[in-house]
């Protein structure tokens, strides 16, 4: 998986990742690669549509950002995407939502 490394005694001076095995490195590290994260986030975002303009604008901005920048946005972190969209859907219901009710939902 790793390419060439230079050793000086027991200390590694350099280490290079073999780009052909990046996917394998993500699997071993138990992480989801950026491309896959982006695809998952775009799927989540495409599943929703909101009535309130400011929420719908946010959704569209996130789709645009992820599509063009090919990375996630700190305002829409991968780990919390489902929860963020659920909360936005609750807020979007146009009726007043008490904090406690929103928290429970």
pTM of the model: 0.65
* pLDDT given for residue 50 in this prediction: 92
pLDDT tens digits for the chain (105 residues)? 445 555 556 777 777 777 888 888 888 888 878 888 899 999 999 999 998 888 899 899 999 999 998 877 777 888 899 999 998 888 887 666 555 665 665
Q: How far apart are CA 82 and CA 77, in angstroms?
A: 10
């Amino acid at each position: 998986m790793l390419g060439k490394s230079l050793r000086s005694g027991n200390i590694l001076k350099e280490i290079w990742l073999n780009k052909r095995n990046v996917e394998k490195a993500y699997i071993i590290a138990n992480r989801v690669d950026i491309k896959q994260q982006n695809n998952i986030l775009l799927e989540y975002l495409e599943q929703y549509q909101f009535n309130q303009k400011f929420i719908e604008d946010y959704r569209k901005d996130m789709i645009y950002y992820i599509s063009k920048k090919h990375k996630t946005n700190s305002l829409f972190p991968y780990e919390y995407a489902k929860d963020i969209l659920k909360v936005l859907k609750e807020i979007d219901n146009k009726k007043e939502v008490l904090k406690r009710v929103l928290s429970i939902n």
